[in-house]
Copies of this chain bind each other. A is one copy, B any other.
């Protein structure tokens, strides 16, 4: 039996690993018609003629149970024959293409080139992998994160994979964001009176969540929705569980603390979920007007994912909007 009333839905916003873990937990708590997962595509890139969507892949592999949980990315039981042969041919190997992973990129690239939308390609890939909960790329338009550094701009994968996040970040430029149209079903959910909650996963705010919420109209629709917006902090005890979020924050002059995440999202949030280790921040955060849930947020096992998802869901559904945006006009 569902925890949701009839016809109500949850929208989850996700980047890569952290967001996918929470999304997997949510799929264990909610029926396919009760959940839609919106995924960042601003770290998509072209490599060797392939359209690679790292966050979509991470989510699909996580939801289908095919991900390599020890390596932390890519597919389990992966092999590297193609990469070895690419090296032999003098081709770039800084982006580690697994043989099985390549199949995803080939299928996607081929269909995109034939004119199929990323949404449709993603739906077909999910169907093949037995994923029943809707996975929505944030947009069928191209948005690309560029990392601004003292040495100039780097594409996100150049920064993240090739340079191992070493360059000092000055800011993030989201190329194409001004004209990107949020994915159709995503907009429908945002506008729907049946939307019960919007859950922002513990993903990087600057390169995973910003691309989603900074598309024209999205933040406005989130504020206007009657559904509460709840974020799970990607920062625990002054560090990121994974990825460069903490390093980015420090370099951009932010205090590396869960409170900075809440401040960054600002009045978009109605609730905020922080880790037990950050319990001493709860009072100050509550005083700023946010509803706060303090729970263990490190997700190591499937049980951790289900438990956190269930707690975040209960917490979200218990909230009513703290701000009255009902008069905001959304086009």
Contacts and interface: CB of A to CB of B under 8 A. Distances in A.
Interface of A: 48-50, 75, 78-79, 81-86, 88-91, 98-104, 106-107, 109-110, 113, 124-125, 128-129
Contact of A99 (B50, B85, B90): B85
15 contacts: A79-B81, A81-B98, A81-B99, A82-B99, A82-B106, A84-B100, A84-B103, A85-B100, A85-B104, A88-B129, A89-B107, A89-B128, A89-B129, A99-B102, A102-B102
Contact of A82 (B82, B113, B124): B82
Contacts of A113: 49
Given A81-B100, A82-B100, A99-B99, A48 B128 contact: no
A79 B124 CA distance: 26
Given A48-B107, A49-B113, A89-B128, 15 more contacts: A49-B109, A78-B81, A79-B79, A82-B106, A85-B100, A86-B103, A86-B106, A88-B103, A88-B128, A88-B129, A89-B104, A89-B125, A90-B124, A91-B103, A91-B106
A67 to B, nearest CB: 13
A48 to B, nearest CB: 5
A106 to B, nearest CB: 5
A306 to B, nearest CB: 26
B129 A50 contact: no
Nearest to A124: B90
Q: Is the interface of A mostly helix, strand, loop or mixed?
A: helix
B79 A102 contact: no
Nearest to A91: B107
A106 B49 contact: yes
Contacts of A109: 49
B91 A85 contact: no
Contacts of A83: 103
Contacts of A101: 85
B79 A110 contact: no
Contacts of A128: 88-90
A100 to B, nearest CB: 4
Nearest to A98: B81
Nearest to A90: B128
Contacts of A129: 88-89
Contact of A89 (B49, B86, B91, B103): B103
A84 B81 CA distance: 13
A37 B72 CA distance: 47
Contacts of A49: 49, 106, 109-110, 113
The 5 closest A-B pairs by CB, nearest first: A81-B99, A85-B103, A49-B110, A85-B100, A99-B99
A78 B258 CA distance: 49
* Most chain B beta-carbon neighbours within 10 Å: one of A85, A102, A113: A85
